[in-house]
Amino acid sequence: MARPYNFSAGPAAMPEAVLRQAAAEMLDWHGCGMGVMEMSHRGKHFGAILQQARDDLRTLLAVPENFHILFSQGGALAHNAIVPLNLAGRHPARAMDFVVTGGWSDKSAKEARRYGDVHIAASSAEQGYTTIPDPTSWQLRERPAYVHLCGNETIHGVEFHTLPDLAALGCEAPLVIDFSSHVLSRPIDWSRVGLAFGGAQKNIGPAGLTIVIVREDLLGHALPHCPSVFDYRVLAEQDSMANTPPTWGIYVAGLVFQWALAQREGDAQGLAALELRAQRRAQLLYDAIDGSQLYVNLVHPAHRSRMNVPFFLRGDDGEPLRDPNHPRNAAFLRGAEARGLLQLRGHKSVGGMRASLYNAMPLDGVQALVDYMREFERQA
Amino acid sequence: MARPYNFSAGPAAMPEAVLRQAAAEMLDWHGCGMGVMEMSHRGKHFGAILQQARDDLRTLLAVPENFHILFSQGGALAHNAIVPLNLAGRHPARAMDFVVTGGWSDKSAKEARRYGDVHIAASSAEQGYTTIPDPTSWQLRERPAYVHLCGNETIHGVEFHTLPDLAALGCEAPLVIDFSSHVLSRPIDWSRVGLAFGGAQKNIGPAGLTIVIVREDLLGHALPHCPSVFDYRVLAEQDSMANTPPTWGIYVAGLVFQWALAQREGDAQGLAALELRAQRRAQLLYDAIDGSQLYVNLVHPAHRSRMNVPFFLRGDDGEPLRDPNHPRNAAFLRGAEARGLLQLRGHKSVGGMRASLYNAMPLDGVQALVDYMREFERQA
């Protein structure tokens, strides 16, 4: 029986092959007589799982050797505090610059205010987070502890398709990116990044696992009140074993990494294949929205997310219907669920609909959504 | 085929029925078309899972209504920082008293020093953590922010079989207990406890999930640099949804809670049945150790742990053999593994052997271990 298509923004759909393997190995991993949840994290079996997962992620994202890959916990929201606890100390007044392009970077900036002097270098709040301010207009300070941006805004559907070159903008600081919701969908230009972090529960694996990739020279500046197990230097020195790591999450993430490495589209393999698919999925849905009279996406076309597509049905007056309980929205969601198109309701702060198109979403799923949208429009 | 017996100290063996159910539901939870890892944490399905898990834990541990049950992340080591970040502010000088009875409470005290004035009210360090100092000898301050103890020392095998009555000892402070490694094996006298916390990966479920049970009046004292998602008041107000919770861990813990509620031993059911089994397992192993010439457990009999039994083989001179690579220890471990008795190697800081006897360990497993120990002794 075919599974429904799950458009959840996260925790989100996972590759069926990964779920099947995790189920099959639940009581006995590779003949060792224990399931992965039952293994000591210090034993040889889990040691092999951890190392393979880290090596595969390094391969997938072409992470240079001078960056550490850390497996932590707490999600992006916890690391909104943990990143400044680790990096703010690089500047004597704990100066941190933020680029705010949606709900997530806004949350990051607010949490960082607890730990130092936060400056909003740019914001698209006045545009309702539907665009990304041109980097040449950013009011960056010369040498803050770091500059933060959110690579892909899961709620507002805005994505950086190119990372800024801070040095070229006159700012001598490492760039920190929250890559929670588009990691593994595109390459990362590590020459422009000092630290990348994200929760796993969108494009990687189970909620609870948090991945941090940090350049070696940024370690060692933790503030005195940073909890030991969240000091990235301690995590790096102890091989992500400063405390018991979320072993199941690392195992499942590792299965996703192996799945990702094996994907092919024509000549493209691994991350290149995943990026090609992400482009095709997004193109199919945005074309359907733009070609319709009923649906609308409000994000500037140059900054639209490939991963999270918020869209609205229009009311009879042509205006976007934000209220999820409006009868037209409710009818749309009911019909979608009846066709096995799940979790399309928009985020409460934006309303309307949102289709999240992560790596585990096949093109057929987007086609099914587009077919349904056209059918609904004809009948509306 | 019978599974091997897994004596890991954590992550540890889980009930086979729980693992089978988790595997069976991996792709489709209760016919909703999604696996648990794929569900939005804000949707109705996961909402039901979370509420059931919390209600069942409240029933199992008889948690009074004025205590909040919180699902967090980071493990006990992270909460060694997060507890003082939440409670130290109850005292103007951030005074905190610690009772140190092993490696875990020692770590807790050291981490708390980052956040205030730590006073060691009692310690068994000079006795090699083989006993618990009599509470009437503790040097408690009159009114610290709180008093911390570790209910069961996983590494040293020392357990509080009765919690102290701080008020009767002249101390007006809430008692904080780390219950990581004996939760669900005995009742908790909540009249003597203000806050209990622990990682799930020993007697409950997967690593990464951390459970905090806190009395209502202790919320609201977080220090300014406490990360928002680790402020227990925020977690309580937002129903453990301040950030995306470790959904898989909560689901599996919920399956364990249901399994626990259904357990029976004679007239005993639920927690009472689990406690009875814990007593029987421990008795069987300690009797075998005490009745032998080869094996020795160094903990004072009144304070021996039911959950974690560290023991040593003696050398030809009668002294405990701590070095895990001593030929006799190596031979013991090899023979054990060949008989399907796994993860018996002691903690690196103690050496020798350790058998962890959590709820998922059947009495047959302990009998198999005891049989093997006798066989090995005859041949030694």
| Residue A10 in domain | no
Domain holding A375: CATH number?
3.90.1150.10
Any catalytic annotation for residue A178?
A: yes
- B171 shares its domain with B310: no
Radius of gyration of chain A (CA): 21
State whether ipTM is beyond 0.90: yes
- A145 shares its domain with A164: yes
| Residue B50 in domain | yes
- A204 shares its domain with A347: no
Domain end position, chosen among B261, B293, B317: B261
Element (H, E) at B331: helix B327-338
Closest C-alpha to A16, from A367, A365, A372: A365
- B361 shares its domain with B243: no
- B108 shares its domain with B217: yes
Domain end position, chosen among B240, B261, B282: B261
- A219 shares its domain with A363: no
Q: Which residues of A touch B10 (CB under 8 A)?
A: 40, 244
Condensed to tens digits (0 to 9), the pLDDT of residues B107-147 reads 999 999 999 999 999 999 999 999 999 999 999 999 999 99
Contacts A–B by Cβ distance under 8 A? 224
- A161 shares its domain with A48: yes
| Residue A4 in domain | no
CA B275 from centroid of its chain's CA atoms: 14
B117 vs A229, A319, B170, CA distance in Å? 21, 60, 20
Q: What is the pLDDT of residue A253?
A: 98
| Residue B3 in domain | no
Of B29, B56, B104, B231, the active-site residue reads B104
How much of chain A, in percent, has pLDDT values that exceed 90? Answer: 97
- pLDDT for residue A281 is more than 90: yes
Question: Among A12, A73, A111, whose Cβ lies nearest the Cβ of B208?
Answer: A73
> In total, how many domains does chain A have?
2
CA B228 – CA B269 distance, rounded (Å): 39
- 3-class secondary structure per residue, B153-182: ECCCCEECCCCCCCHHHCCCCCEEEECCCC
Domain end position, chosen among B261, B283, B318: B261
Confidence of residue A380 (pLDDT cuts 50, 70, 90): confident
Q: Which residues of A touch B11 (CB under 8 A)?
A: 37-41, 244, 247
- B239 shares its domain with B357: no
| Residue A62 in domain | yes
- A51 shares its domain with A167: yes
Confidence of residue A242 (pLDDT cuts 50, 70, 90): confident
Confidence of residue A3 (pLDDT cuts 50, 70, 90): confident
- What is the mean pLDDT of the segment spanning A195-216? 96
Please indicate if any CB of chain A lies within 8 Å of the CB of B114.
yes
| Residue B2 in domain | no
Strands B117-123 and B95-100: parallel
- A209 shares its domain with A273: no
- pLDDT for residue B89 is more than 70: yes
Q: What is the pLDDT of residue B242?
A: 87
- pLDDT for residue A147 is more than 80: yes
Domain holding A57: CATH number?
3.40.640.10
| Residue A354 in domain | yes
- B319 shares its domain with B201: no
- A38 shares its domain with A133: yes
Residue B343: which domain range?
Answer: 267-379
> What is the rounded average pLDDT for all residues in chain B?
97
- pLDDT for residue B221 is more than 70: yes
| Residue A165 in domain | yes
CA A59 from centroid of its chain's CA atoms: 18
Sheet holding B67-73, edge to edge: B67-73, B209-215, B195-199, B175-178, B146-150, B95-100, B117-123
Q: What is the pLDDT of residue A198?
A: 98
Please indicate if any CB of chain A lies within 8 Å of the CB of B308.
no
